[in-house]
């Protein structure tokens, strides 16, 4: 496993992070709480990730209605302090965790309440990494940054990041942190893949300029880049498109599947899977620290292993990008 500094910080994370959003649910969707991976399945996935050398586990307070954090906490208790001392734990705050008007967002009250809840579920006294899960238009950014800074100064959190963040708002946050001496966001976690390249316009240049880390989620575009879907066929049972299709419906068009056929040919020529090649494409971006992957079974870790062994040159990466650009299937 390769380990990299997260942005300009001194903390080192594995070149791939484990996304735990499917433990006990499918992301933060309340209607899917209790689905996803069972506790036993989550334990097996975490064991495999740890054995592979993945030291970054990424979760959120709302994943599975808290079931994801609880499963990680039980796994850590079973594995003991030797694992906890080496594991980099990352959680998030913002998404709704109840029906009340103050059960969501990035107010000082909600942040303080939720970090305490996350620590209790995880069975730890601090979080290595803590992200806002999304911007909160109803709370002043100064209030959020001040509250998060207090968590760092109080030792409950070590480093701060931002998820689903537009570049213009990240610039504002960095300016406010510099002006008011708040703890600054040190990395970004946005969607990025061959089918979702919006961050190439502004966010990735900003990461280069400001020394921000970048831990993209959905590097396989909800499974589209694995080749599991066919334009004229039903969705595979249990796939993302059967559980939570909304984020991926825009991909369901002929141009996308033509580009996927090109990716399939490139993968066959290299003797690897489509998923491995697509993941390697993400990892080959200079700005990327560690994509967040969400294997649903131990077998899925073969994709990660293959991707780690692939080394794409800038020219090879550009060639894969062009497959999707010329068919109008990317986010150009």
* Three-state secondary structure call for residue 110: helix
Closest C-alpha to 300, from 90, 18, 75, 87:
18
DSSP letter at 198 equals G
* Three-state secondary structure call for residue 255: helix
| Residues involved in catalysis | 63
- Block residue for tokens 């020394």: 211
Closest C-alpha to 296, from 16, 1, 2, 25:
25
* Three-state secondary structure call for residue 50: helix
Closest C-alpha to 290, from 39, 52, 36, 37:
52
CB 30 within 8 A of CB 65: yes
Q: Which residues lie closer than 8 Å to 110 by C-beta, 6 or more apart?
A: 93, 102, 103, 104
* Three-state secondary structure call for residue 201: coil
Closest C-alpha to 166, from 140, 130, 198, 122:
198
Number of CB atoms found within 10 A of residue 187's CB: 25
Structure tokens at 152: 């760092």
CB 70 within 8 A of CB 111: no
DSSP letter at 80 equals -
Alpha helices in the chain (DSSP H): 39-52, 67-79, 81-84, 108-122, 141-153, 167-180, 203-210, 240-243, 254-270, 274-283, 301-309, 314-325
């Amino acid at each position: 496993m390769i380990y990299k500094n997260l942005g300009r910080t001194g903390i080192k994370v594995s070149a791939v992070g484990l996304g735990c959003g499917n433990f006990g649910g499918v992301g933060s969707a309340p209607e899917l709480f209790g689905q996803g991976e069972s506790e036993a399945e989550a334990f097996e996935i975490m064991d495999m990730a740890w054995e592979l050398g993945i030291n970054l586990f990424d979760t959120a307070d709302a994943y599975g209605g808290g079931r994801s954090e609880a499963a990680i906490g039980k796994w850590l208790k079973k594995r003991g302090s030797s694992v906890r001392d080496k594991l980099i734990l990352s959680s998030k705050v913002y998404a709704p965790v109840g029906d009340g008007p103050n059960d969501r967002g990035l107010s000082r009250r909600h942040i303080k309440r939720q970090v305490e809840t996350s620590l209790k579920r995880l069975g730890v006294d601090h979080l290595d990494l803590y992200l806002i899960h999304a911007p909160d238009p109803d709370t002043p950014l100064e209030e959020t940054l001040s509250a998060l800074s207090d968590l760092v100064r109080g030792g409950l959190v070590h480093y701060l990041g931002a998820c689903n963040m537009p570049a213009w708002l990240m610039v504002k946050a960095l300016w406010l942190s510099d002006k008011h001496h708040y703890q600054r966001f040190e990395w970004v976690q946005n969607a990025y893949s061959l089918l979702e390249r919006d961050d190439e316009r502004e966010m990735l240049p900003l990461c280069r300029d400001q020394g921000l880390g970048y831990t993209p989620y959905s590097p396989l575009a909800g499974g589209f880049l694995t080749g599991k879907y066919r334009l004229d066929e039903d969705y595979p049972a249990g796939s993302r498109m059967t559980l939570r299709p909304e984020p991926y419906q825009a991909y369901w068009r002929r141009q996308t599947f033509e580009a996927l056929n090109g990716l399939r040919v490139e993968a066959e020529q290299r003797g690897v899977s489509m998923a491995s090649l697509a993941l390697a494409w993400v990892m080959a971006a200079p700005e990327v620290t560690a994509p967040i992957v969400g294997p649903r079974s131990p077998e899925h870790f073969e994709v990660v292993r293959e991707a780690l062994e692939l080394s794409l040159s800038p020219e090879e990466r550009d060639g894969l990008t062009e497959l999707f650009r010329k068919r109008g299937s990317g986010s150009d």
